[in-house]
Structure 1
């Protein structure tokens, strides 16, 4: 057993976990460890290496404001460049000394006697820390949407977030099951090489122009030599995105109407076939599902070697995909662009909170976060949960956005967590959210969300089957920044050692 007691243990070495580590170092805290289950940092940018993978937020906005800005090569950065910049960040900030790779957390248990978290990894190692920060993300557990018969397919198949780069797609019959945010990026790339590509669409999505381009060498030199120019570019993108909130926050308002108009014009300018256009046009309000940003998706569907199929998939068979019209679409390769399991947040990690006094802590003594979230995940400001002292969640429940950069939300959370940790040290006690605070916050939040586009008549990964929105924030980043600017210590019960 590791006898050292860390001040902070962080789950995950994606941008959230790494940014938290950077922010701790800025606050003078060096006693922390980042536990990463894979053999490489990067989180979603490590996992999603499919052809054409790139960010939907402009590169100048998709980085920490408190860090040295990378020399981005284009307006919307591609996955290899983002991943390389993440790895350079780790080395430059000295975070490599705090990271343990291949250290998958299986369990984290709060010990009431010692007032700390006991964290167990898959190898059986135990790490003890006074605070536990979960940076496990929302989009990292592939889902296959219950598609029947996947195991019977005779060809190669994989989820888009687990791309098989060893399989040559040249000349092959390829299926893309799904047409969401990942699919619209890899479909144009696959269409270039596949013998034939069939796109199986369950629900169409609104798509607006991306307007991506490389930065010129002159522009890149200017951004490097004059940080104020880069800040101006970043701020411009930020406030432009904040202006998009009207398309997400309220149904049927002028901003939503303008985005709908832009999406329709984009579709009509790139798809001349009226029958195909109507198959690609959504029947739900804009913002209800994730808005897609792409310049090359529609043109890819116009290729002679690409078909769009809108019939429901009945099952996967050894030779291909059977649709409910009885047709068997024979395939050599199937790519599942079926999204992620987004409602549990936990994955396979068992989190056990406050319990009767006991040492060593025993599984089952306290409240399981999985049980606490049985009816849906919820957290105060997306970060803290009653019964789990000194546990903080980054990019947690109701902190996703439909209009701006998650990096901006994360920076609010980093600052809040640092304030909470400083208060915990000053009070010599762990902070446990009062249940009535969480209940009031979530009731108010869900009431606000019922009036947003996210609550529209569509199925999305933002909400549970009964319509409760568990993933998205109800307002703008500026709204969230104001809500998280100060730590209200009265919202927390102070739990001293032995308490």
Structure 2
């Protein structure tokens, strides 16, 4: 057993961890380590590499504001390009040398006497750190379906988060479970090769047309030479997405804004009609919840895939899986060679928190959240957890874009750590009063949102915690979140 000491330990080397590392360097803190269980950086953009993987937010918006990338090939870039962007940013800011791969963190415990976090590593090693950051992301723990007989299936089973790059669906009978954002990208790719494809749908998804522009080499050179041109495009895409969230979702109680939400659903229905003329098929593919209750998506291929004769939509449910097929809830049987699981991620049970975190006076973070309510001041801090920022917490996720979340969190880090340094202090901890006020405020703001007063009961969205509260989301604009992170009362923290 070995023990090392650092100023800071960051758990996770995805975009959240990389952003935290960059901010620490900006503040003059260089004695830190990033720990990641994978063998490369990038988080979900390294783990996921299924066919068709692409970002569903324009890459002009889906990137660090301080680090625009002139080399995107398209407005909605591929997963490979996003992964390359992570590599390039980590190299530019010299983050890679701080990363230790193939390192699984089992838990962390606050040592009140020494005023450090004791971080337990699989295999028996430990680390001590003055500061602890968990940047484990929201979508890091794959969810496996609990279907009778699935363990008896004799064919190939592939989860989208553990894709086998050698797998070729050509000529096979394939079944895919799930019709979320991942499946929307993957299903057309499978349909192009499989002899027969059955799509098992529990919850339909709203699908809007995808306006995907190609950036020519001339455009890339223009972006590189005159970065302002790309920032202008980003301003457009940023404002469009801000309007989608703040107008159509956060302020849903306003009648005019509610009408705009209905118009968005009408657009998706028009998109359905354009691709699918079979009325019954359209009915089965149409959600019965309001758009925005769960993450919508964009595609020009998904809906028309269901018009192909070898593609079948099964929306009646699954009774059981057998050695060579699936028995459907309607009594029919589907023989298959490969079962693809596009069943998403276990966000609330396995990721809040992703590791065991024990704070002051032995408070267990996961247990506390479940016994009280999921809560985090400014989406990062909890009372009884000194010197700890959880970057994937309740009320952290801002709109549809993780990079906006990271932007305000980096601003909060700067304000908080500068004050700690100014006071020559050892610890910071959010006060219970400030945390309670923030939770009450988030509850009040969400009360007028689509997620609370809209028709979301059947959405089965990961936005909602097990108690039915939409506490993943921070119900405000990016500008407002950044302003709060830059100006929050320093008295909200005990700094000593």
TM over 0.5: yes
Q: Which residue does 2:386 correspond to in 1? A: 389
Matched with 1:363 is none
Structure 1 SS opposite 2:238: helix
**Which residue pairs with 1:479 in the alignment?**
480
Q: Structure 2 CA distance, aligned partners of 1:247 and 1:410?
A: 23
Retained in 2: the 8 A contact 1:14–1:44?
yes
Tell me the alpha carbon deviations over residues 275-313 of structure 1, each in whole angstroms, 9 at most, x when there is no partner: 111111111111111111111101111111111111012
How far residue 70 of structure 1 moved from its aligned partner, in angstroms, is 4.4
* 1:333 paired residue number: 338
Shift of residue 3 of structure 1? Answer: 5.8
The answer to whether 1:309 aligns with 2:309 is no
Residue 112 of structure 1 corresponds to: 112
Change (3 A) 1:16 1:174: same
Q: Check 1:163–1:462 CA distance in 2 against 1; reply closer, same or farther (3 A cut).
A: same
TM-score, normalized by length of structure 2? 0.94
Q: Which deviates more, 141-150 or 81-90? A: 141-150
CA RMSD of aligned residues (A): 1.7
In the alignment, which residue of structure 1 is the partner of 2:347?
342
CA distance, structure 2, for counterparts of residue 57 and residue 492 of structure 1: 35
1:6-155 equivalent positions in 2, closer than 5 A: 6-155=6-155
Match of 1:488 in 2: 489
1:351-370 CA distances to partner (integer Å, 9 max, x unpaired)?
11013xxxxxxxxxx11112
Residues 68, 267 of structure 1: CA spacing in aligned structure 2 closer, same or farther, 3 A cutoff? closer
Where do residues 238-277 of structure 1 align in structure 2 (5 Å cutoff)? 238-245=238-245, 246-249=247-250, 250=252, 253-277=258-282
For residues 92 and 308 of structure 2, the distance between their equivalents in structure 1, rounded to whole angstroms, comes to: 45
Gaps of 5+ in 1: 356-365
Q: Which residue of 2 aligns with 1:407?
A: 403
When residues 270 and 209 of structure 1 are mapped into structure 2, their CA distance, relative to the original with a 3 A threshold, is same
Please, which runs of 5 or more residues in structure 2 have no aligned partner? none
In 2: Cα distance, 1:347 partner to 1:102 partner? 20
Displacement after TM superposition at 1:68 (Å): 5.0
Partner of 1:269: helix, strand, or coil?
helix
Match of 2:303 among 298, 302, 310: 298
- Paired residues of 1:395 and 1:410 also in contact (CA < 8 A): no
Q: Secondary structure in 2 aligned to 1:457?
A: coil
More helix by share: 2
- 3-state SS of the aligned residue for 1:343? helix
More displaced 10-residue stretch of structure 1: 182-191 or 317-326: 317-326
Residue 406 of structure 1: CA displacement? 1.6
1:371 aligned partner: 367
SS at match of 1:182: helix
Deviation for aligned residue 1:2: 5.9
For structure 1, which segment, 169-178 or 81-90, has the greater mean C-alpha deviation from structure 2 after superposition?
81-90
The answer to whether the 8 A contact 1:141-1:347 is kept is no
The equivalent residue for 1:360 is: none
Equivalent residue for 2:415, pick from 414, 419, 425: 419
> 1:58, 1:77 within 8 Å by CA — same for their partners in 2?
yes
1:60–1:426 distance in 2 versus 1, CA, 3 Å: same
CA contact (8 A) 2:14 2:42 kept: yes
Q: What secondary structure is seen at the aligned counterpart in 1 of 2:189?
A: helix
The 3 A distance-change label for structure 1 pair 64 and 241 is same
Task: Judge conservation of contact 1:198–1:309 (CA < 8 Å) in 2.
Answer: yes
Contact 1:160–1:336 (Cα < 8 Å) also in 2:
yes
TM-score by length of 1: 0.93
> What are the equivalent positions in structure 2 for 1:174-185 lying under 5 Å apart?
174-185=174-185
Q: How far off is 1:82 after superposition? A: 1.0
Please report how far the alpha carbon of residue 492 of structure 1 lies from its aligned counterpart in structure 2 after TM superposition.
1.9
Question: Within 5 A, what are the aligned runs for 1:141-220?
Answer: 141-220=141-220
